[in-house]
Structure 1
Amino acid sequence: MPSLKRHFLKTTTGLLAGLLLAGVASAQGFPTKPVTLMIPYPAGGLSDNIARRVNVPLGAALGQPAIVDNLGGGSGSIGAQKVLNAPSDGYMVFQGSPNELILAPLAISAIKYKPESFRQIHRIALAPMAIFVRPGFPAKTADELAAHAAKVAKEGKPMTYASVGVGSFYHLLGAKMSKDLGVEMTHVPYKGGADAQRDLFTDLVDIFITPYGPAQVELVKQGKMRALAVLTPARQRLMPEVPSTTESKALKTFTAEIGTGYFVKRDTPEPVVQALHQALQKTLGDTQLRAGLFAMGQETSPLQTLAEADQAYKAEISAYQAIAKSINLQAQ
């Protein structure tokens, strides 16, 4: 009997070792089929535009096509959850930001995943942000906006601000502005930036604080909306005529920017993560991509090691959770 037990243990151990080696070998051969880039917003927005500039050079670097898949809703959490529901094999990569992975779980009680469930492979870009207002909005400057917000709040008709969903970074910025100004403002959430812009164009919502690029600049030129102020400490190259919030009195300290990165499930095999990381680093060196991101108003990310990318993400988790706490964000 002992010999049978030893034989069983030896056989089982051998099978497990064989399966492990097979898994490692499979991971090291990654990728052998197309890789999906999960974009958690509808087509046509800034996130989608970034993905459609990245996917071609990334596919070339991987040796397999990189396919863009748009799935909006739930402040980006629906797309994020789809990645978590997929196998941990690297064939579904999430393109996102603190919006979807850190803030959405803090704001939406139905979301059960945690930011730590994801691992950042590499940041791709940093985006400047601006306060855009509807065409008929009476304020022309940040200080006039503050005065208008106080006036309508006193009249019982609070100023409205759009976001891409409850708990999104844009929601937090609007809530923070409301707190900084000491006046009530009403949050109006949308599924994506394109939907928010549509209602801004038709005077259905007052302001939309969002990243921007040439598409938004063109909409401003067409008179569909106005750029009131940028949230960077200095004026920006795409809209040099638009002042920074730091030039105002009421919103002098109201600044922000947001990054876009690529994430996988944290338990994705290390050889797969390394392959994706190397491909993204190669992609960041593509001159057409860099020119395209630059034209969109995006600042291309410097190269990061895997450790640096992961540490940066962990730092963002702490920072954004602190912002959410400061405005008393409650899950709904």
Structure 2
Amino acid sequence: MKLTTRRTLLAAPALLPAAVAAQNFPNRPVIWVVPFAAGGITDTSARTLAQHMSQNLGQSVVVENRPGAGGTIGAEAVARSAADGYTMLYGSQGSIAAAPAMFPNLRYDPQRDLAPVHGIGASPHLIVTSPSRPWRTLMELVEAARGRPEGLTYGSVGVGTSPHLAAETLMQATGVRIVHAPYANGTQGLNDVIGGRLDVMWDYPLTSLPHVREGRLRALAVTDRQRVALAGEVPTVAEAGLPGAESVPWAGLFVPARTPVEVVARLAGAMREAMGDARVQEFFGGTATVLWPTMGTDQFRGFLAAETPRIAALITRSGARGG
């Protein structure tokens, strides 16, 4: 008994620093890695949330952009970071669910190396084309694709990203093929649709709607099961004749695996409180994003358990592979 007690006492100091660190978290700025370029919807969304999370945590939450490879460069950086809560990831459909099925040499495993903290939300795409194109409805676009053996073209910021997954969803629902044209950023692709050099694009309402309002783009459908308030006149893909072609990109907060549960809970609480702020809700309402204030750690883990195999099957059927 005395020997057991002594061993316990000797082991206690080794456990103490980690426990104390978790209790004192955070005592320095927290880095939030956004794996896409500055200025896009993901970046501005993270910065909006970071501002309000900072107030709750009592420490700055600093957004750090690490773009490239469909979000996997930033995701890998976080996966390799210290599991102390001071490095977070803005994870999305591509880097979390699609990447393992698409990149055979992926240097991180989302399920093994990253831990879910809290869901952020989901935002559908608008399917947009140029007014100069002859198709005025989504079904007319599909029929045009059937009649063009060489294929129409669509743009995205790379394989595995949400526009690519949305396009694949429609193609698998209809059996048509549309040629994928990857771009360095979404703005370039959208400009090529406007200029008539690209046939169609799946894009966020935040960036495409101003062009629709000014007549430079035509919106054919929204990829959600319900219409979005910002563009109530645009039908859903089901209303446009293609039930089953829905695809809604999602995002969530992640940290390195083995981050102390107390730290994860602290970050989850800060995210939940940030979502309750009226200014945050107004911002996300303006991007047609549905926030997930009740998608806590356990709920988000359950969501990922169902979503990851669904996306993996979509990728497998498409035959898409990354570098």
The answer to whether the 8 Å contact 1:83/1:264 transfers is yes
Q: Which residue of 1 aligns with 2:199?
A: 206
Q: Give 1:145 shift.
A: 0.3
| Residues 181-200 of structure 1: CA deviation (Å, up to 9, x unaligned) | 32332111234433432333
Q: Following TM superposition, by how much is the alpha carbon of 1:46 offset from its aligned partner in structure 2, in angstroms?
A: 1.4
Q: Which amino acid aligns with 1:84?
A: A
User: Which of 116, 120, 126 is the equivalent residue of 2:116?
Assistant: 120
The code of the aligned residue for 1:287 comes to A
Does the 8 Å contact 2:116/2:300 carry over to 1? yes
Find the residue that maps to 2:148 and give its secondary structure: helix
- Give the one of 209, 212, 221 matched to 1:220: 212
3-state SS of paired residue (1:128): coil
Question: Paired residue for 2:315, among 308, 313, 324?
Answer: 324
1:51-104 alpha-carbon deviations (Å, 9 max, x no partner): 121111111011111111112110100111111122111111111212111202
Show the counterpart of 2:187: 194
- Residues 36 and 68 in structure 1, CA contact (< 8 A), matched pair in contact too: yes
Counterpart position of 1:164: 157
| Aligned position for 1:299 | 290
Q: Which runs of 5+ in 1 are unaligned?
A: 1-5
The one of 46, 49, 56 equivalent to 1:51 is 46
How far residue 318 of structure 1 moved from its aligned partner, in angstroms, is: 2.3
1:3 corresponds in structure 2 to: none
What TM-score do you get using the length of structure 1 for normalisation? Answer: 0.88
The 1-side partners of 2:11 and 2:205 are apart by: 51
1:31 to 22, 26, 34: 26
Distance 1:259 1:135 in 2: 29
* Structure 2 unaligned regions, length at least 5: none
Provide the rounded CA distance (Å) in 1 between the counterparts of 2:171 and 2:310: 20
1:272–1:219: structure 2 CA closer, same or farther, 3 Å change rule? same
Report the counterpart of residue 17 of structure 1 in structure 2: 12
Instruction: Write out aligned runs for 1:1-332 (5 A).
Output: 16-116=11-111, 117-153=113-149, 156=150, 158-213=151-206, 215-249=207-241, 251-330=242-321, 332=323
Q: CA deviation at 1:262?
A: 0.6
Structure 2 counterpart of 1:325, one-letter code: T
State whether residues 72 and 78 of structure 1, in contact with CA within 8 Å, keep that contact through their aligned partners in structure 2: yes
Return the alpha-carbon distance in structure 2 between the equivalents of residues 80 and 115 of structure 1. Answer: 8
CA contact (8 A) 2:126 2:208 kept: no
Checking the alignment, whether the CA contact within 8 Å between 2:173 and 2:244 is kept in structure 1 is no
Deviations 1:129-168 (A, max 9, x none): 2212235333111011012112222xx2x11111221122
Q: Displacement of 1:16 after TM fit? A: 4.8
How far is the alpha carbon of 1:50 from its aligned partner? 0.9
Q: State the secondary structure of the residue aligned to 1:68.
A: strand
What is the alpha-carbon distance in structure 2 between the residues aligned to residue 96 and residue 195 of structure 1? Answer: 23
Give the Cα–Cα distance (whole angstroms) in 1 for the partners of residues 187 and 38 of structure 2.
Answer: 8
Structure of larger gyration radius: 1
The answer to whether the Cα contact below 8 Å between 1:72 and 1:192 also exists between their aligned partners in 2 is no
Question: How far apart, CA to CA, are the structure 2 residues paired with 1:17 and 1:320?
Answer: 44
Identical counterparts, % of pairs: 30
Secondary structure of 1:252's counterpart equals coil
Contact 1:38–1:71 at 8 Å: present in 2 too? Answer: yes
User: 1:230 Cα shift?
Assistant: 0.8
**Partner Cα distance (2:44, 2:248) in 1:** 18
Q: CA deviation at 1:261?
A: 1.0
What is the deviation of 1:330?
4.1
SS where residue 244 of structure 1 aligns? coil
Task: Tell me: CA distance 1:305–1:234, structure 2 relative to 1, closer, same or farther (3 Å).
Answer: closer
- In structure 2, the CA distance between the partners of 1:305 and 1:59, relative to structure 1 (3 Å rule), is same
Q: Is the 8 A contact 1:130 1:230 kept in 2?
A: yes
Between 1:132-141 and 1:118-127, the stretch displaced more is 132-141
CA distance in 2, matches of 1:205, 1:19: 60
SS at match of 2:134: coil
CA contact (8 A) 2:237 2:246 kept: yes
Distance, in Å, in 2 between the alignment partners of 1:121 and 1:45 is 23
- Three-state SS of the structure 2 residue aligned to 1:238 is helix
The 2-side partners of 1:296 and 1:53 are apart by 12
Distance in 2 (CA, whole Å) between partners of 1:195 and 1:21 is 52
Provide the rounded CA distance (Å) in 2 between the counterparts of 1:111 and 1:137: 39
